[in-house]
Amino acid sequence: MNLTDYIKDIPDFPKAGIVFKDISPLLANAAATDKAIELLAMGLHNFQATKVVGIESRGFLLGILLAQHLKLGFVPVRKPGKLPGEIISQNYQLEYGEDALEIQANSIQPGDLVIIHDDVLATGGTAEAACKLVEKCGGVVVQCNFLMELDFLEGRSKIEKYQLHSLIHY
C-alpha cells in the first residue's frame, strides 16, 4: 500500500503559495490508517517509551492511535488557552507566522520517555517547541515521529539532536 495515494495536495491553503498536505483521505480509509500506524510504530518498542505526545491538531489523530497501539499514555500539546490547570508554554516560529504551544504541567513526569508525534514536519518550529515542553517537564524525548516530512523546508535541522522518523518525504 502506498500511503501517498491517500494524501491530497490542496494548493494555496491556508494562504497563497502553500501546498497543504491533506491527510483526510488517509483517515477516511481504515486500511490506510492501520498501515500508517503499523509503520509509525516500527521499532518504537525498543525505546521503552512511557508516553506519546501529539501536537495540535492533526498530531492528535494518529498520535492517539499510535499511543494505543504501543499501549502508552497520550498527552496533548495544544495551542494557548485550550488546557485546564497549571500549564507550561513555549513560543515558536512557524512557516507563516508565530504561535505558542502548551502542555499541562503534570502530564509528563521526570524521567518519562516520550515519543513526539505530528502529521508533518515542515519548518520544525512546532516539533522543537514540543520537545522543549517535554524537557521542561523533566521528560526525555526518545523520538520525533511524523507521517510526512517536507524536506525542502529543512525542519529536521531544528530537531537534529533527536532521533527522527518520517514515513513519507516530499
Q: Is 144 left (phi over 0), alpha (psi -120 to 50) or beta?
A: beta
Q: Is 121 in contact with 142 (CB distance < 8 Å)?
A: no
State the DSSP string of 113-164.
Answer: EEEEEEEEESSSHHHHHHHHHHHHTT-EEEEEEEEEE-GGG-GGGGGTTS-E
Could you list the active site residues? Answer: 58, 95
Q: How far is CA 16 from the centre of its chain?
A: 24
- DSSP state letters, 7-34: -EEEET-SSTT-EEEE-HHHHT-HHHHH
Give how far Cα 138 sits from Cα of 91, 109, 116, 132, Å. Answer: 18, 6, 14, 10
Residue keyed to cell 490547570 = 85
